[in-house]
Amino acid sequence: MSASNFSSPSSTPSHWTQAIGTQQLIKTTGTLATCTAFTYTFDVTALDQLRVFVSSAQTTGAFGSAASADSLCQGYANAKSLGGTWKAWVSDASSTAASRFSNPGGVNYVLLNGTTVANGLTDLEDGSLDAGITTDENGTSLASNTPYWTGTKANGGLVTGTAPTVTCKNWTLSSASPNKGVVGLSGKTNNAWTYGNSPACSTNAHLACFEQDL
């Protein structure tokens, strides 16, 4: 930020002072003073990329709700001092991943190692990824086909079907088959990244966590 230049009448001696922050401009001529207050406006630059990881921690299908999954992701990120706001790629009857995700600048989603996963939210929701999600919040590589709970179609919407068979009854069941939940699979770049299979709700699976630009 550069300071503005001020001029004063040449016929009368005068002095201008300027402070930084909320600006106070003072002109004194003789014994008189005129004060004018003004404020600079600062532009806040949007994030230039949004990070993605699969949680190292696992949970059964009874983690509570999509909102609870968001809180878990935030906690994992906080524990590693990653900063930012994080949400899970998880849907239930009350909230879909698409409805909660925010990327107004259309910036890239990247792994913690910088690998591009998708070029913005539209690309994320088009059925394929540029690269699979293969690392956790520690930067550790995951085994191929590591499952993470989603209940989510490629477009970010809720998987259709009865709740006990696609979202462990909105993520409240931890019992075995016939109760199931849809998972995505690490490393996949096709639709299976979000809809890989449907294991029993007693399965221990991870969460896919995405940074948000709010």
Q: Please write the tens of the pLDDT for every residue from 94-128.
A: 999 999 999 999 999 999 999 999 999 999 999 99
Q: With b meaning 16 or more CB within 10 Å and e meaning fewer, what string describes 192-205?
A: bbbbbebbbbbbeb
How many angstroms separate the CA atoms of 78 and 30, rounded?
Answer: 59
pLDDT at 46: 61
pLDDT at 36: 53
Positions of the chain with pLDDT lower than 70, given as ranges: 1-46
pLDDT at 37: 54
**CATH, range 49-212:** 3.10.100.10
**CATH 3.10.100.10 intervals, the chain:** 49-212
The two tokens of residue 176 are 């075995």
pLDDT at 162: 87
pLDDT at 159: 96
Contact partners, residue 29, CB within 8 Å, separation at least 6:
12, 13, 14
* pTM to 2 decimal places: 0.79
